Structure 1
């Protein structure tokens, strides 16, 4: 009996001894789960780390820090959404290689005008480790690819939507050029007699002529304008053409910086506008070159030196009077142009390899170049013409397409994020 009693008490004594030992030790807090998210969890350490990052960002902006409980809830919700997207990426087989991640880190450093070592030092000064930053970038790259597959690929913009946007007032405002304007107003009182209107018109014409002869617009505005902004030299700030009354909306686009409009009659009097500066807009003039060439490629049966000699012989034959196009059809190894006599049609120089572009830019029109080497082989080329093409309409369409895609993407993304959040099992443990 005594032996059995001792055996029964031994665990109690051992427990008491353990408790007394731990009572004198320092309590070390362990990491804990703050949210269960489908098949994963968000840990307190993750929340604390992201809280520090967000607080530093808010402090750098000089903004007021929200209450701690509000910020904690916002950050935790962000971590939950990130975790859901990372789980989708894991199931979909999205992987970020070390090479891709290294390149991304180098790009971030370069954007901040830092070397990679300087970037690491800057992170350390902010209390962030390079490994933590690297892991966060990896997470963001995975999330970006998930969104590309699940959201961006579903966004479609039709040509009709683009044309409707370009024709809308909003489209005209967003894509139009901006002008910094100044004005001079020569007033015409309400109910003025024909003689008074004519006198105001003559004064406006006289001011306009003085401006054309070099008079300072600001001084003329101070001296003669009846506008509210006369003492500011007539300065009215930045305006888009669509924000101006007719016919100024159509006139300013044809003016160069520093030019002024003729006096125009308005209900308040005669107005002269000056374009002080321009910015934005979508006018783009692109240089194009009409060129043809003969391409000869080295191969296993023809060395680079032999290919160069063949190119030289063809050049000599062209110089002797043989037809460039006929020789291109017979010898050129460029499948895209050989059947057309080597004609590449009108091309943008920026779309060509540097060696070809340099030779083309330096070649006089109508003169055949000596054979030269590029990554594709040996070339002989002839420039047939040069022109400047106004690609403004194409550029505006591209800009409209991108604006509409971005708008649809933002709407689709928010819908998708709400959907995956609603469908997920999330239990907050905080």
Structure 2
């Protein structure tokens, strides 16, 4: 099995399992035991070892340096196991399932991404000691959890125009920055934290800033104390488009220079620390656009391909002989949304229309009318009315801003949702030392 294949499985949360892939003769004798009772389920020591191995492989696949301690990985793995069990239980209560077709598509995608057939994927997994049915069950759980989060959190997020405008007002970018590379530490406070608890967290965050300013590696400090999702990766958030920076961080990042540290910032879940590692700059975003109009004839049990093609050929001849395209589209096109506008599709950017349509449209000169051609929607003729190079910088910025605001709201909503699940659940710890 290739390193790239292992990395892909690790990224999907389905990496090689240590207890399954290490030859039996090399494995120490382990006595399994219950670490915690989670509702009607339990967390076993064997599960913890497997989850910790998966996490370690994901970190290795990303070449994380320095690597977090085994203790830090195991504690993160334990939290992940508890939350996965709570989410699967909640999904079951709500009747959320993963159908076999969806699971099969996901497995097909993994196979395809590795240039394998599904039987070849199965053979590759089993050659490494991974049971294919266990692999499929892992996929099922991933899909169920994702469906739960989409239904209960993500699909309920709304972003208003005023929120986008407010974000853009704060985003700055006057120095030409297009992207930033950030490191991040979160010193979390519990729900309903007392003033004393918040003060203790603030002191931890202040001490972390002093460690970093004193020359200690930010990533090592993040691995030691951060509660952020990227803690094990040293708090590395990677490259983020300027207009996709989380709104909480945006006003601070806008003023930071490379190497600067900001924080601790008191907000939301606790105290936040940022370091700006690098910046990228660039100019305006210019994209080619085409203005076109079309007439569509759909095929069905009454209208065959031959009939649709014949009717469009007749309409094309009428247009070439002087008939008005606008009037003919209003009278004959089956695309009702554009028909009322004379077939006008407006200005389109590459990728906006289906590939088969764009391919034919791109072959035309201005004002030229195409021969009839077929797409998944039916048969068309199309006329190009004009072409231009368009400055899409503003639209791109607004799209990025909308995504940043939505992602931030979804992240906060998900954190609150998961916290509520955990607060309302019965969890009984059976072992204080998770390093066993």
TM superposition shift of 1:127? 5.4
Q: What do the CA deviations read for 1:174-223 (whole angstroms, capped 9, x no partner)?
A: 983369xxxxxxxxxxxxxxxxxxxxxxxxxxxxxxxxxxxxxxxxxxxx
Equivalent residue number for residue 167 of structure 1: 169
Quote the offset at 1:122 in angstroms: 5.9
Larger Rg: 1
Q: Which runs of 5+ in 1 are unaligned?
A: 1-27, 180-239, 246-277
Q: Provide, for residues 257-284 of structure 1, a one-character-per-residue CA deviation record: whole Å limited to 9, x for no partner.
A: xxxxxxxxxxxxxxxxxxxxx9565733
Shift of 1:142: 1.6
Residue of structure 1 equivalent to 2:146: 144
Q: Give me the TM-score of the superposition, normalised by structure 2.
A: 0.60
Q: CA deviation at 1:90?
A: 0.5
How large is the Cα RMSD of the aligned pairs?
Answer: 3.7
2:345 is matched with which residue?
Answer: 344
Q: CA deviation at 1:425?
A: 0.9
| C-alpha separation in 2, matches of 1:113 and 1:174 | 43
- CA–CA distance in structure 2, aligned partners of residues 358 and 159 of structure 1: 34
Cα distance in 1 between the residues matched to 2:358 and 2:93: 46
The alpha-carbon deviation at position 402 of structure 1 amounts to 1.7
Matches of 2:66 and 2:129, distance apart in 1: 20
Matches within 5 A, 1:36-115: 36-57=37-58, 61=63, 63=66, 66=69, 72-111=74-113
Instruction: Give 1:416 shift.
Output: 2.6
CA distance in 2, matches of 1:55, 1:429: 24
From 132, 135, 145, the equivalent of 1:133 is 135
Is 1:291 aligned with 2:295? Answer: no
Instruction: Report SS of the residue matched to 2:371.
Output: coil
- CA shift in 2, pair 1:107/1:171, >3 Å: farther
Comparing 357-366 with 130-139, which one deviates more in the overlay?
A: 130-139
Q: CA separation in 2, counterparts of 1:409 and 1:334?
A: 36
Paired with 2:175 and 2:377, the residues of 1 have a C-alpha distance of 43
Residue 405 of structure 1: aligned partner: 406
Query: Partners in 2 of 1:333 and 1:65 — Cα distance?
Result: 60
CA contact (8 A) 1:329 1:339 kept: yes
Distance 2:76 2:340 in 1: 64
Q: Aligned pair in 2 of structure 1 residues 124, 307: CA closer, same or farther (>3 Å)?
A: closer
**Which residue of 2 is the match for residue 331 of structure 1?**
332
Asked if residue 389 in structure 1 is aligned to residue 390 in structure 2, the reply is yes
Distance in 2 between residues matched to 1:387 and 1:55, nearest whole Å: 50
Encode CA deviations 1:231-282: one digit per residue, 9 max, x unaligned. Answer: xxxxxxxxx997799xxxxxxxxxxxxxxxxxxxxxxxxxxxxxxxx95657
Shift of 1:352: 2.4
Q: CA deviation at 1:91?
A: 0.7
Cα distance in 1 for partners of 2:314, 2:350 equals 27
When you count helix as a share of all residues, which structure comes out higher? Answer: 1
Q: Give the 3-state SS of the residue equivalent to 2:340 in structure 1.
A: helix
Measured after TM superposition, the shift of residue 291 of structure 1 is 1.9
Q: Deviation digits for residues 361-405 of structure 1, max 9, x if unmatched?
A: 112212222333333333232222112221111111111222222
In the other structure, the counterpart of 2:362 is 361
2:177–2:280 contact (8 Å) kept in structure 1? no
- In structure 2, relative to structure 1, the CA distance for the partners of 1:429 and 1:359 (3 Å cut) is same
Q: CA deviation at 1:423?
A: 1.6
Contact 1:59/1:65 (CA < 8 Å) preserved in 2? no
Structure 1 residues 292, 90: CA separation in 2 closer, same or farther (over 3 Å shift)? same
Aligned residues: 309
Moved more, 53-62 or 376-385: 53-62
